[in-house]
Structure formats: structure tokens, C-alpha cells
Chain A
């Protein structure tokens, strides 16, 4: 006869299995110290498993476990910056970058052929995401990787829905601006520009 603890473990693993890829991808894109991915995942999964008796079967396990992961990512990033004597407060704030004038024609050129340009922008994309505020980064990645809805992201991040919507909108705009600037600087915009990138 199966012990209750075996059953609990089996149920936890059953819930966890389809989410491993998304949890790992979200963690890799969110942590500032790439060597800390495993530790952060371990902490998050360990705490979620410890508290699994609090999870109500039939409710949203995805959002439930992403909340644990997000808390660990924030804690890991704070610790990383303390060690490097760089407080999170020193990250560029939303306003710092948001106040840059938006070059609409430049953005339009970026939107014209996104896949071609993005195929040359892996590092720029990672940098641009790293430059977002913690909330903007979380919202953008939760949406892109986890396909979460505003309501779910509000639950995970424990902020109002309106804040989620504005943070997502800002994150998208700032990402476009950064990628467009990068593409211009590297000669990726315009016809024939890839033949002779700078």
C-alpha cells in the first residue's frame, strides 16, 4: 500500500513535470549570476515541495510554483548584488531609459523584419532584458516564457493588475528601443545591411 508521503511526492512530480522547461528558462533569463541557476531552482522547488500540503488541488499549480521561483530569484539577485556591492537600486530605473526619445522610424524598421534582425541579437536581447527593472523583467518573461495572463502575473508578483499592464507595456517598448538602437549601431537595419555588418 502506498504511503501518503509517496502519494504526495508523486502528485508533486506530476504537476512539476510539464513545467520544468518553463521554470528553467525563466530562471536562466532572470538570475543575474548564471552560476546560481541551480541553487535558485533548488531553493524554489524545495520550498514548494515543503509547502505542497498548502496547495489546493485543482487550483493553478503553475502560478503557485512560479511564485516560489520568483521569490527565490529576487532573493538570489539581491544577494548577488550585495556581494558585488551593487544594490538593485543602482540598476537603471524605468524613467532613466523611458525618458529617451522614441525614434519611431527606427522602431518601424525593426518591426519590418524582426526575425532576421533578432537572429543577430542574442546578446543584445539578453542585455536589454537585464536592463529592465526587476518588475518589468519578471512580467515580460512570465508572459513570454510562461504565457501567463495579467491576473496570474498579478498573483505571482503580488502587485495590482494595472501595475502589471503598465510594466509589460513599458518593458516591451524599452526592449524595442534597445534592440533598434543595437541594430542601427551594428548595421542590421535596412536593405543589404547584413552583407556588411559593422
Chain B
């Protein structure tokens, strides 16, 4: 692929809509061509900035309350007697919250994404935690996850990236939901954890390393691990596979499966 071919396909690449062959060819070109790498970076940077401007903010609670009541999906609060006590209850809850934050916040150690994901990976592989949704189809797993988390999730890597998907689900990492995909790389269990990119701020160590490196390799106990920021996700791939194979899985995350239509 020459520069013109590569640039012609930048939108498919950016949107993760091309097939993985296209994705790999463009990656190869970008690794060798500084001009195109800079050009792609600028296109993506602009689209990311526009997306961030347009992205969904928190839903308006009052508006949704009215919408759900008016449509009959939710009922108006029936226990009106509580209304008299509600200011006192709110005050008591606030006090409890303040005490809770004061008591527990300073004792909380900084959290490492690598450690937390390693724990969940271990639970999934030794089956102390059941895989929520089992499927050998990357499309099915993607659909399942997209329906259950509020942040964007891209399609899992496919067999041509050396990853055989087995299922997926939603777990809790540092108190918030994260999506996971489980599968095998060279017959070894590998998990992929997907978090919204904004949560990188929560993990100081990972935030720092990913500000310096596009793809970061590390070890956690007996596991090898690769972290990267891919589009609007933080992606963590963990398992006993070789680091090269795990990196290949990270790079293939989000490549779009061939659409037979």
C-alpha cells in the first residue's frame, strides 16, 4: 500500500470498520512512514476532539423521571409520607457520606489496573467466577457487551489475530463496570479487559506509562500483560501467552469483522 492508498482508507481505519487485513497493512505502512503516521495522528486527534465535544454528558435525572412517568414505564413515588422526613434523611445521608469519605479515603492505596485485572483473570480462569456469556462468535460477544455497558466497546480480536474468543461479560474494576472478553491464544487462557478511556485518570501508574508508550508490556505475578489506549477504550490483555502474541491481540482489538452483507 502506498501513501495515497493508506490515506484513502483512514476513515475505515479510524472507525475500526475495515477488515483486519486492511488494518494490519495500514499499521505496517504507518510504522514505516512518518509522514502518514503524523497525518493519521492529526486526523484522529481532530475527530477525537469533535467526539469529546459531542459525547454524552450525564443524563438529566429530572427529565428522565418525567419521561418514564409520562410513558408509564415508572410509577410516581407512592410513599408520600416519606416526603416530610426527606430533608432529615438527606442530611443524615450526607453526614454519613462525609464521615465515610473522611474515614476511608485517606487509607485507600493507589490502585493498579494491572493488579486488579489479574485478580479477575485468575477468577475467570479457575472458574471461581463464571463467564457471563459464552460464545465462540466475536460478533455475538460484542453485541452482548455493547448492550450491557454504557461506554463504547469494540469488537474482540478474531482468529486471524491468534485469538479464539470464548465469551465475555461485565465485571467490576475499582468500583466501576469494565467489560471483559475471554478466549485463548495458542491454547492458553487470555482475558481482555475494556474500560472507558476516561478512567485512565483513576490509575496513576498506567496513566503515566501510557502517556509515554502507545503499548505497554508488564508482568503481574505469573501473567504477561499488555496495555494500550485504543480509541475511547483502555484495553488490557492478560494471560500466559508470549508478549508478542498478546500485543498482536491488543492491536487487533476493534478491527471490524467481515460483514457478509
Chain A interface residues toward B at CB < 8 A: 9, 12-13, 15-16, 18-26, 29, 37-38, 41-42, 45-46, 49, 58-62, 110-112, 114-115, 118, 122, 125, 141, 143-145, 147, 149-151, 161, 165, 168-169, 172, 175-176
Assess whether A111 is in contact with B67, with CB atoms less than 8 Å apart.
no
A-B contact pairs, 9 of them (CB 8 A): A20-B64, A58-B144, A61-B147, A118-B53, A125-B54, A144-B54, A145-B54, A147-B232, A161-B259
Instruction: Tell whether, in the assembled complex, residue A111 and residue B45 are in contact, meaning their CB atoms are under 8 Å apart.
Output: yes
Task: Sort chain B's interface into a size bin.
Answer: 35 or more
Residue of A nearest to B39 (CB): A111
Q: Which of B15, B54, B57, B147 interacts with A60 by CB under 8 Å?
A: B147
Pair A111/B63 contact, Cβ less than 8 Å: no
B17's closest neighbor in chain A, by CB? A150
**B60 at the binding interface (Cβ < 8 Å):** yes
Contact B256 A25, beta carbon cutoff 8 Å: no
CA distance A150 to B256 in the complex (A): 10
Q: Which of B70-78, B91-99, B111-119, B124-132 contacts A (4 or more CB under 8 A)?
A: B70-78
Across the interface, do A144 and B50 meet the contact criterion of CB distance under 8 Å? yes
Q: Are A172 and B67 in contact (CB under 8 A)?
A: no
The answer to whether B66 touches A38, judged by C-beta atoms less than 8 angstroms apart, is yes
Q: Is there an interface contact between A21 and B58, defined as CB atoms closer than 8 Å? A: yes
Q: Does B159 contact A (CB under 8 A)?
A: no
Which residues from B are CB-within-8-Å of A118?
A: 49-50, 53
Complex-state Cα separation, A59 to B16, whole angstroms = 21
Q: Is B51 an interface residue (CB 8 A)?
A: yes
Whether, in the assembled complex, B106 has its beta carbon less than 8 Å from a beta carbon of chain A, the answer is no
Chain A residues with CB under 8 Å of B49's CB are 114-115, 118
Bound complex: CA A165 to CA B63 (Å): 34
Q: How far is the CA of A60 from the CA of B140 in the complex (A)?
A: 10
Closest 8 pairs (CB-CB, A-B): A147-B152, A18-B150, A20-B59, A46-B71, A25-B56, A21-B56, A114-B49, A114-B46
Contact in complex: B51, A111 (CB < 8 Å): no
Q: Is A45 touching B146 in the complex (CB atoms < 8 A)?
A: no
If A9-B73, A111-B43, A141-B54 touch, whether A22 touches B150 (CB-CB below 8 Å) is yes
Chain A nearest CB from B66 CB (Å) reads: 7
| Residues of chain A with a CB closer than 8 A to B143's CB | 58-60
> Is the beta-carbon distance between B74 and A176 smaller than 8 angstroms?
no
Cβ-defined partner of B56 (8 Å) among A38, A145, A149, A175: A145
Do B42 and A112 touch across chains, with their CB atoms under 8 A apart? yes
- Chain B residues with Cβ below 8 Å from A111 are 42-43, 45-46
Bound together, the chains give a CA A190 to CA B123 distance in angstroms of 54
- B37 close to A (CB within 8 Å): no
Task: Point out the residues of chain B lying under 8 angstroms from A20, CB to CB.
Answer: 59, 64
Contact A18 B74 (CB under 8 A): no
Evaluate contact between B256 and A19: CB separation under 8 angstroms.
no
Q: Contacts A110-B46, A149-B15; is A18 near B148 (CB within 8 Å)? A: yes
Q: Are the CB atoms of A176 and B56 closer together than 8 Å?
A: no
